[in-house]
Structure 1
């Protein structure tokens, strides 16, 4: 059986996460038991939620145990199988973690899913046609529930979730406004992703400036907001929300290092009778087939053209992840293992 390189969580961050929180180790891959499948990972997904799991504190998911392989989505190929449902060579998506190989119980519900790479590249099943895409779909379709002509806004607009959000919103006849960092990302948001406007938070770098930029970009106010960031950007958006508007609360990356994120004007939720709903997409597996079908069609027809930032090799995962937390990635952040 092949030697397997892995990244484990060695110690917990004290404030900002650093590379020394992680450790590269190598182990022997165990022999397969009946029903098990050996998967050779081609790509590893890096996502903001992983930062929260590094903390030993109350959250919506259990903390990442010390000394164990970091959790994470993976796509790859069946290298060996003791399960009749999976053949060697099958392309699969699962939660294999930060390692080169994983041994998976092929009979466990949802543990491993075969995917078709004829029209959708394998890596996209970790982004636009995977968890991030379904996250965008659920927040938009089930929480914001926009009508044609509505104005919707998303922060982290050129990330994996924001990219899918634009295509989904435009398919529903919405005005889509993004918030991203840097002129290149904002240009990509408009020219490639289909946003009507993208606001650069590095230029409009405080609540007052961002609120004014949003007023110009959203002349009819904001009907729905998909929140990935929190902090002062959320404060600025709140000032422009319409009566009976909705916020899908997905991420608060501004607070992942542990600092509190007080809201400047929480009374606006009452004044505007807002609906604010947090959600975790893995708790809504019933919508995944419908969402993935629409997302796959959008990619296959060229209406969704996701961009990827790819680090090379398992050893590069920690630095790539830390870069993601600082917005250094462009689109979906992946690690290529094959």
Structure 2
């Protein structure tokens, strides 16, 4: 991938933006957004700022959490604003002669669903397209990696020989968690939603046991399957899903088990504002003297360099494998967000202009 800038010398750009205009009650789709257009000019780039051309957009479950009408880790995402999100972009113009960044550089930004954006230079992370693919900054070397790496190692505290169960194991976060757990010497059980996904987990990235949860549609059935694949019990549960899967796992946790809550995607479409009851087996936490820890990627924002130092070589030498689902077309962004909750993506979900 060349670093040469593909942009012509023009002063103005027609800019499209997806503006978040209506709170969803269940699934989110195009009805909850308005596509707007405006013009953005190089003359608008003030000192210390850069004009970016967006190329790849990260699609993440937390976007739906932010759309709840209730406070989560922050106030509800404001209506009538551009949908936020991580973006891999190229610099079109930059107004700072002292910056090491230059026109044509690939960067990671948080400028959201718009084709062009002006942002602070200090907020940008330079990407090297020769080192690894720039899309990895949205997944296996981005925010999902941050919460997988630190969430597992610092909240899960894996030890060689322990058994870990990971729900949503083929997703952007899960596919990283299971591989780090294998690197640390754990027995890994991955739960996913299709035979194709469980095959990827088993054959490609070496998960020890896999469960297609769609073949086990109740907590009782799931509990029976967990007992079959982990008769030794469960030491760590890395939860990306919630719901009855979590209920079933609690039946099999060992003494001093660690339960890491990263996501509850089963509850996001309709369950955020009126959540289901559960888990209903908290007495198991008492009996087993287990811990439950919630983890957020933002808690580790300032430790990204630490992660990249260890994980970049893992990706380069193939020790960490990853899947990406890339959807073509800026107009597909709302539809792509909906895909997350229908299980249509494999690994990290990205939209490309």
Match for residue 288 of structure 1 among 304, 307, 313: 304
Which residue of the partner structure matches residue 3 of structure 2? none
What SS does structure 1 have at the residue aligned with 2:177?
A: helix
Aligned equivalents of 1:247, 1:79: Cα separation in 2: 45
Aligned equivalents of 1:62, 1:314: Cα separation in 2: 27
Note the alpha carbon deviations across 1:264-316, whole angstroms, 9 max, x for none: 21111111111101121112224322222222121101122211111111110
Aligned equivalents of 2:29, 2:129: Cα separation in 1: 35
Deviation at 1:80, TM superposition (A): 0.8
What SS does structure 2 have at the residue aligned with 1:311?
A: strand
Task: Give the structure-2-normalised TM-score.
Answer: 0.92
The answer (yes or no) to whether the contact 1:19–1:322 under 8 Å persists in 2 is no
Aligned equivalents of 2:50, 2:107: Cα separation in 1: 11
Q: How does 1:1-338 map to 2 (within 5 A)?
A: 1-30=12-41, 31-83=44-96, 84-85=98-99, 86-107=101-122, 111-256=123-268, 257=270, 258=272, 259-262=274-277, 263-337=279-353
Aligned equivalents of 2:130, 2:163: Cα separation in 1: 35
Note the alpha carbon deviations across 1:4-36, whole angstroms, 9 max, x for none: 111111111123323201111111124100110
In the alignment, structure 2 segments of 5+ residues that lack a partner are 1-11
Deviation at 1:329, TM superposition (A): 0.8
Q: Which has the larger Rg? A: 2
Aligned equivalents of 2:85, 2:322: Cα separation in 1: 20
Deviation at 1:58, TM superposition (A): 1.3
What SS does structure 2 have at the residue aligned with 1:284?
A: helix
Deviation at 1:192, TM superposition (A): 1.3
The answer (yes or no) to whether the contact 1:182–1:200 under 8 Å persists in 2 is yes
What SS does structure 2 have at the residue aligned with 1:50?
A: helix
Deviation at 1:145, TM superposition (A): 0.6
What SS does structure 1 have at the residue aligned with 2:91?
A: strand
**Greater CA drift, 140-149 or 1-10:** 1-10
Note the alpha carbon deviations across 1:154-176, whole angstroms, 9 max, x for none: 11111110111122111111111
Aligned equivalents of 1:284, 1:261: Cα separation in 2: 29
Give the count of matched residue pairs: 334
